[in-house]
Amino acid sequence: MEKLYEPAAAERRWQETWEREGLFRAGAGARRDESYVICVPPPNVTGDLHLGHALNGSIQDVLVRWHRMQGYRTLWQPGYDHAGISTQNVVEKQLANEGLTRHDLGREAFVARTWQWLEQTGRTIMDQYRRLGASLDYERERFTLDEGYSRAVVAFFVRLWERGWIYRANRIVNWCPFHQTAISDLEVQHEEMDDTLTFVRYPFADGAGSGADGEGIVVATVRPATILGDVAVAVHPDDERYRDAVGRDVVVPYVERRVPVIADARVDPAFGSGAVKITPGHDPMDFDIGRDHGLPEPAVIGPDGRMSDAAGDLAGLTQADADAAIVAWIKERGWLVKREHYRHAVGTCERCRSRIEPLISLQWWCRMDEPARPAIEALRERRVRYHPESQHRFAIQSLEQAPDWCLSRQLWWGHQLPVWYRPDGEPICARTEEEAQQQAGEGVPLTRDPDVLDTWFSSALWPFATLGWPDETPELAAYYPGNVSSTAREIIRLWENRMIWTGLEVMGDVPFTDVIIHSTVLAPDGRRMSKSLGTGIDPIETIDAHGADATRYGLLKISSTQDVRFSIGAIEEGRKLANKLWNVARLILQNADGVTPALHARALEERWILARIDAARAEVEEAWGRFDFATATNVLYHLTFDDFCDWYAEAVKPRLYDRDVDAIATAQAALERLLTLLHPVLPHVTEEIWSHLPDRRARLIVSPWLEPDARFAADAVALEHVQEAAVMFRRSGVQIELGSDDERRIFAAVVKPERQNAAGDASAEIERLRKEIARASSMLANDRFVRNAPADVVAAEQEKLARYRRELGALGGVES
């Protein structure tokens, strides 16, 4: 072994070796019939690895490597999402730099150019996953626009059509005026903006004074341009200020249209004046209120974000210019009450930053009431469980409240809807144009719907479409249903829940049993990670600087809560741990020539470390079993750094130097066990060390996981007294009496008291411990502290109190 561990060279070598030897393939190393399946959330085909990917990849790889070592037929399915608007946006930007638009090319040429660009520069993230050490079955890579996958998408759309769940209707959508398409909620970014809240008087049509404002009702709006589309004024039914106004008409400024005052519980009495204008064509809540009250839906803003023809003399103006004209008109007539600064969250397109226009648009929709019922039942019955529990409750609630799904997008890149129209506009849904023509009749001209499907429609089929559905393939039989899905919380509604209901609809079974909602990694200062904010951190840079193992370790270590601040210190700790492991392996192996690993555990420290390894195995299995990766990582750290390196290795070192064959054989066997436990978290350094052990018949990646071994359990706390003696000596220089020759030998080998110059003051230490006992006892006697403090804080105080009493007893200060 080299003196220093160099992660860059070792990691690249093992990534290439594992893949070349087929050890990432589905079923590699299998020793049992059960499968274990995870599908990687398909990243955008245009994307790069970011910290969310790196954390999620580390989590999934831990689970996959663990189950592979347990002998399961593992499949970690890789692939990409075609990413509709994201990909189209990139290519359109390239065209803009050339002075062109997609319309200059035409649809067919634009799609061809997009494919060409993807083949040249897309699909890079899988190579970055390789840098992380992710053991995906890269040979099975799928793409949501592959020919076979596209067939699955069409088959599912036709299935929903035949179920009667797909319909076409004018409803309100998130509209991007730059991209000229409807977009999903996930693609809307809410940004805090400074605006102006305009208070406008809407006079009563009958001219009689009444209500809170005498001669009318005052309405507050941040968008005066939309006044032209007002069809009502709404107040809360319990708002006493407007009790007499409900049922009367008011006059809408500028257009001077009579509209009713209505009562609706969705109105917030605390906003503005408590009365709101109802503009169904340009506000989601207003749209819902308007539908419930049977109100008209005029649209005065067009798809380009400018005033439409319905705006009359303001048609063609920007909204800002229309705002100015309308406010001037209102002010001239004395209907302007006041204007004031207003800061609020505004929906913008995450790609172009254009302000989203809520617009009523003719789109294709999928009903969600009936399709969602089996998924809701599966979640309530815990056939699928979200972790943590708070996200499980949210998943059920979001399905119960799921609105109908807008399926269509006004793009060219994606799955074109399998819908054709007869000359009279009647739609035909079919798998192919030939099939549609057969339905229409010979000679009937057909026109295909130009829209494409929402990207999430195809990704909802990921767990079974990647396995060959709609065909009944051997892979589908072997690997569906899967086991775990892991992702971030913002796509619970958009992806996770949809995979559950599509799986139940198509396969008759849930696609997985557990959903991990992993931590969202924030910037060190607590802000969100963002390239534009300058808070983004590239995980490839941390891999280059510290290694993939260290990066994986650091991300897993900080993954204890839903929002965590990134800590480079955790990654640096991972690098130190890898180096510590390398050094202890060199210590054991440098004098091990000709000695085969075997257990000849006779010395106290040998029995103790084997007991500690087995105890750590149980703790790690329990933590990983409940998807607590931070706790498991912490257990592995202390087992390696403290127990194995600082205590066991130091205690056994004299025997290793003396070429004690039994000690060397046992040390190698203990090291094997430690490497096995560490491998899912630190795969590269463990595989590298493993390769230096004698008689390696298999790579560590497919070697058996540790079986429970209770032979040495009685010695799990055998060094507790010695370790407490070491803590006291290092703190105060005071030595306490140890009970056996083994304890004294281990204390001398590990602590090396002869290097301590100053003599300890036992009486001072006794006094200090008495004070600590008094402090801890007082805290634990305080019912308020015990009742209100976190359980782990109380437990820590109880543990400290017990330790102080033992130390005091060891010094002859009575308590023990």
Per residue in 360-402, pLDDT (tens digit) is 999 999 999 999 999 999 999 999 999 999 999 999 999 999 9
Strands 257-263 and 232-235: parallel
Which band of pLDDT confidence, cut at 50, 70 and 90, is reported for residue 493?
A: very high
For the chain, give the percent of residues with pLDDT over 90: 81
Separation in Å, CA 101 to CA 88, 97, 240, 310, 550: 11, 9, 56, 28, 45
- Check: CB of residue 553 under 8 Å from CB of residue 633: yes
Q: Residues 788-814: what's their mean pLDDT?
A: 85
pLDDT confidence of residue 532? 57
Residue 759 in this model has a pLDDT that exceeds 80: no
706-731 pLDDT, tens digit each: 999 999 999 999 999 999 999 888 88
Whose tokens are 């005498």? That residue is 214
Asked if 431 and 154 count as a contact pair (C-beta separation under 8 A), the reply is yes
Nearest to 255 by CA among 283, 229, 280, 294: 229
**What tens digit of pLDDT does each residue of 54-107 get?**
999 999 999 999 999 999 999 999 999 999 998 999 999 999 999 999 999 999
Architecture of domain 540-718: Orthogonal Bundle (1.10)
In sequence order, the 6+-apart residues with CB closer than 8 A to the CB of 195 are 222, 341, 342, 343, 344, 346
Q: Which pLDDT belongs to residue 211?
A: 42
Q: What is the pLDDT of residues 243-260, one digit of tens each?
A: 999 999 999 999 999 999
Cβ–Cβ contacts within 10 Å for residue 343, how many? Answer: 10
Q: How confident is the model at residue 533 (pLDDT cuts 50, 70, 90)?
A: low
Architecture in CATH of 181-358: Alpha-Beta Complex (3.90)
Q: Is the dihedral of CA 700, 703, 709, 711 positive or negative?
A: negative
The owner of tokens 């049977």 is: 294
Whole-number Å distance between alpha carbons of 163 and 156: 11
Rounded-to-integer distance, Cα 282 and Cα 528, Å: 30
Amino acid letter for position 487: T
Domain boundaries of the chain, sorted by first residue: 181-358, 540-718, 761-816
DSSP 466: T
pLDDT at 703 (0 to 100):
98
What interhelical angle do 720-732 and 791-810 show, nearest 10? 80
Query: 250 with 192: CB under 8 angstroms?
Result: no
Burial per residue of 58-75, b for 16 or more beta-carbon CB atoms within 10 angstroms, e otherwise: bbbbbbbbbbbbbbbbbb
What is the average per-residue pLDDT within 171-178? 94
Please, which pLDDT band fits residue 142 given cuts at 50, 70 and 90? Answer: very high
- Which residues neighbour 131 within 8 Å (Cβ) at sequence distance 6 or greater? 11, 15, 49, 540, 543, 548
The per-residue pLDDT of the chain, averaged, comes to 94
Q: Do domains 181-358 and 540-718 have the same CATH topology?
A: no
pTM for the whole structure: 0.91
- Decide if pLDDT at 757 tops 70: no
Whether omega for the bond prior to residue 470 falls within 30 degrees of 0, making it cis, is yes
List pLDDT tens digits, range 197-216.
Answer: 999 999 999 876 544 445 89
What does the DSSP assignment read for 139-180?
A: GG-EETTSHHHHHHHHHHHHHHHHTT-EEEEEEEEEEETTTT
349 CB-near residues (< 8 Å, 6+ apart):
176, 178, 179, 183, 187, 188, 189, 356
> What's the pLDDT score for residue 82?
95
Lowest pLDDT segment from 2-6, 155-159, 781-785: 781-785
Interval 548-591: pLDDT, tens? 999 999 999 999 887 889 999 999 999 999 999 999 999 999 98
What tokens appear for 335 in the block? 């209907």
Q: Could you give the CA distance from residue 277 to residue 267 in angstroms, rounded to a whole number?
A: 10
Q: Which of 36, 23, 65, 30 is nearest to 478 (CA)?
A: 36
Feature table: binding site: 531
Whether residue 241 is predicted with pLDDT greater than 70 in this model: the reply is: yes
Distance CA 74, CA 34 (A): 9
Q: Per-residue pLDDT tens for 414-425? A: 999 999 999 999
- Please give the Cα distance from 477 to 479 (Å, whole number): 6
What digits encode the pLDDT tens for the residues 403-442?
A: 999 999 999 999 999 999 999 999 999 999 999 999 999 9
**Once rounded to an integer, what is the mean pLDDT over residues 642-650?**
97
What value does the CA radius of gyration of the chain take, rounded to a whole number of Å?
34
pLDDT-wise least confident of 233-237, 434-438, 753-757: 753-757
In 3-state terms, what secondary structure has residue 349?
strand
- Among 84, 122, 157, residue whose Cα is nearest residue 456: 84
> In whole angstroms, what is the distance from residue 202 CA to residue 217 CA?
5
Distance CA 666, CA 152 (A): 55
Q: For residue 774, what are its two tokens?
A: 């008094």
Positions at the binding site for ATP:
531
What pLDDT is attached to residue 800? 87
Band of residue 509 on the pLDDT scale cut at 50, 70, 90: very high
Instruction: State the sign of the Cα–Cα–Cα–Cα dihedral 377, 380, 384, 389.
Output: positive
**Which residue would you say has higher pLDDT here, 625 or 739?**
625
733 has a pLDDT exceeding 60: yes
Contact present, 64 and 702 (Cβ < 8 Å): no
Residue 802 has pLDDT above 90, yes or no: no
Burial class from Cβ neighbours inside 10 Å (0-12, 13-18, 19+) for residue 314 reads buried
Instruction: Report the pLDDT value the prediction gives residue 406, as an integer from 0 to 100.
Output: 96
- Helix then strand then coil, % of the chain, to nearest 5: 50, 15, 35
Q: How high is the pLDDT of residue 716?
A: 94
Q: Are 448 and 420 in contact (CB under 8 A)?
A: yes
